[in-house]
Amino acid sequence: MLKRLIVHELFTKQCPYRLEHFTVQEDTSSFQLCRLTFLVSLQLKLNINSTTLFVIGMYKYLARSFPDFGSRGIVVGYDTRAQEASGCNSERLARLTAAVMLCKDIPVFLFSTYVPTPFVPYAVKRLGAAAGVMVTASHNPKEDNGYKVYWHNGAQISSPNDKEILKCIEESSEPWSESWNESLADNSPLRSDPLREISKMYMEDLSSVCFHRELNTKSPLKFVHSSFHGVGHDYVQQAFRAFGFPPPIPVPEQKDPDPNFSTVSCPNPEEGESVLELSLRLAERENATIVMATDPDADRLAVAEQSDSENSVCRWKVFTGNELAALLGWWMLFNWKETHPDPADRERMYMLATTVSSKILKAFARKEGFHFEETLPGFKWIGKKIHELESIGFLCGSMVPDKDGVSAAVVVAEMASYLYNKNLTLHQQLENIFETYGYHISTTSYVICYDPPTVKRIFTRLRNFEGENTYPRSSGGHSIVDVRDVTTGYDSSQPDKLCVLPMTKSSQMITFTLQNGIVATLRTSGTEPKIKFYTEFCAPPGKSDISSLEEELKKVTDTLVEEFLEPDKNNLIRRSI
């Protein structure tokens, strides 16, 4: 079962001292609590107050929701972010979170050191906790910090729980006096450290996705890994050992935690080759074939593969998130079929992807006869769907119901090792996948807009493009045959014109399906002042003129951005990396 390995959820830059989320609405009191991100600047007291009030609100809601909250408790983890000027770092925010819960006699599983984000939802499930909190801003700028909140099933919280927590926060006017007692995190008998137990169980559970351990032990491949100044180094090393590999070669300049992210312009490995420079040069010196990079909280993964040299200069293929999804989806399917040769077993198999991810998994399902389901963007929705499927016994391989760069890294390593043993590279196998299931060529990018009224005006215009309640009819010279607007709940492809996906009034997202097979989506980021755009050409098997597909996709994408978003007119900031 492919999940947690698709890497498209992002983050935001917040107001320094308000629990308010960037949104396209005039009323900015609406926000998604699945990741509450805020600037930690010189406004230390205000931020600490806000943090404490947030945790008090969360306590109130959890106490109402779980009669056994006092025995189940909560998991709290943190990354390595720190703001030297204010002295407010992730560890301190985690200890304050623990103190609020402990002062109300709630057991707290507080990790004694920094951990990858996926350890928190994993611990919630394994320990039977009511909820979990991870203090992290993922790959945000260094000035930021924030929370990710998990429900008892290990999935990020979603509606209605997020809205109910917000109500509880609004009911709390002042922090409790006892909530400032940080010493409770050290002295309370209700505080325990799950680090050793969870690390051991996590590494043991990785065996569920390890299929060729004996081959791994003999693999001649060399791997380079960068943790991007974050938490990933030790855990990726352990994961490789669990699979029988020698540990990957670390990038020394980026191996240890550094909250200033001093060697990268942007601590997001998804930005591609420009931020992988140190990793690629080290791989060339070490004659390593594969480069991997996890983001600072180790829930995202980037992969590059060395291709043939040209004029003594190494060339690298940096895989997109959609390409990795295709490879990992194929790998899970391949190994499932090896252990479940009866085609009838595929009736019990599901693959999930968000609606802005590649449709390649849908093509797998159509050809191979298993189930495919699409969710709204964001891993909270995938986690929620995983829980629904688990409840009826149809899910396979649900170790962490969230993004997990640690397990993804070692799974990619095993896949690469297996393919190289068959004289295939990852890139060659990707081509094989496209030849079998159809080429899926995609583009993902964004523009930045800090002005919510402008964002609202852009999407209002699209909904009244050629008169009231009419959407655009063409783009790049191609007719638009279907429009889906999850903000309003409209879908022209459905008989009743209603979206199958849940309506999300608090964010903007419109998808256009063109006559030539291109699918294009415009959406606001749930956690960042960005308008993202996704376009994909889904060609049928047998159509392999890649250059013409790419040319057509670029033409449509450029036209869509210029005509629908009007970046110059609306003073939008184009992506710079």
Please report, for residues 21, 99, 161, 183, the alpha-carbon distance to residue 52 in angstroms, rounded to integers and kept in the order given: 17, 9, 19, 15
Q: Averaged over 157-178, what is the pLDDT? A: 86
| High-pLDDT (> 90) share of the chain, % | 64
Average confidence (pLDDT) over 112-129: 96
Residues contacting residue 457 through CB under 8 Å, at least 6 positions apart: 570
User: What distance in Å separates the CA atoms of residue 406 and residue 408, rounded to the nearest whole number?
Assistant: 5
Residue with tokens 């790998």: 331
Q: Is pLDDT at 9 greater than 70 in this prediction? A: no
149, two tokens: 């909140």
Chain position carrying tokens 């926060």: 169
**Residue 468 scores a pLDDT above 50:** yes
pLDDT score of 527:
67
Please report the pLDDT score of residue 570 as a whole number. 97
Q: How high is the pLDDT of residue 324?
A: 93
pLDDT, tens digit, for every residue of 207-250? Answer: 889 999 999 999 999 999 999 999 999 999 999 999 999 999 99
As a whole-number percent, the residues of the chain with pLDDT over 70 amount to 88
Q: Predicted confidence band at 46 (pLDDT cuts at 50, 70, 90)?
A: very low
Confidence of residue 84 (pLDDT cuts 50, 70, 90): low
Better-predicted residue by pLDDT, 189 or 43: 189
Question: In this predicted structure, what is the pLDDT of residue 87?
Answer: 67
pLDDT tens digits, 250-289: 999 999 999 999 999 888 888 888 899 999 999 999 999 9
Q: What is the pLDDT of residue 398?
A: 60
pLDDT of residue 85: 64
Residue 270 to residue 319: CA distance in whole angstroms: 9
pLDDT of 7 higher than 60:
no
| Secondary structure, 3-state, 298-327 | CCCEEEEEEEEEECCEEEEEECCHHHHHHH
- Among 183, 181, 178, 174, smallest CA distance to 53 is for 174
Left (φ > 0), alpha (ψ -120 to 50) or beta: where does 164 sit? alpha
pLDDT tens column, 373-382: 998 887 777 8
Distance from first CA to last CA of the chain, Å, rounded? 33
Q: Over the stretch 318-330, which tens digit does the pLDDT of each residue have? A: 999 999 999 999 9
**Predicted local confidence at residue 222, as pLDDT:** 98
Average confidence (pLDDT) over 182-195: 96
Task: Please give the Cα distance from 330 to 419 (Å, whole number).
Answer: 12
Residue 376 CA from chain centroid, whole number: 13
Which residues are paired to 225 by β-bridges?
Answer: 250, 292
Mean pLDDT across the stretch 48-75? Answer: 93
138 is catalytic: yes
Residue 30 reports pLDDT greater than 60: no
Q: To the nearest whole number, what is the mean pLDDT of the chain?
A: 86
Mean pLDDT of 120-134: 97
Model confidence band, residue 179 (pLDDT cutoffs 50, 70, 90):
confident
Residue of 90, 138, 279, 442 marked active site: 138
Would you say 441 and 535 are in contact if contact means Cβ atoms under 8 Å apart?
no
Answer left, alpha or beta for residue 300, where phi above 0 means left and psi between -120 and 50 means alpha: beta
pLDDT for 395: 35
Non-local (6+) Cβ contacts of 264 within 8 A are 228, 229, 254, 275
Q: Which residue has the higher pLDDT, 201 or 379?
A: 201
Going by pLDDT thresholds of 50, 70 and 90, the confidence category of residue 32 is: very low
Banded model confidence at residue 383, pLDDT cuts 50, 70, 90: confident
Q: 361 falls in which pLDDT band (50, 70, 90)?
A: very high
C-alpha–C-alpha distance, residues 415 and 402, integer Å: 21
Mean pLDDT value across residues 535-559: 89
Measured CA to CA, the distance from residue 322 to residue 4 in angstroms comes to 13
Q: Report d(CA 29, CA 65) in Å as an integer.
A: 23
Task: Spell out the SS3 assignment of 382-420.
Answer: HHHHHHHHHHCCCCCCCCCCCCCHHHHHHHHHHHHHHHH
Residue 23 has pLDDT above 50, yes or no: no
- Residue 312 pLDDT grade (very low, low, confident, very high; cuts 50, 70, 90): low
Q: What is the pLDDT of residue 348?
A: 85
Flag whether pLDDT at 524 surpasses 60.
yes
State the average pLDDT over residues 565-570: 97
pLDDT for the residue 52 = 87
pLDDT beyond 60 at 568:
yes
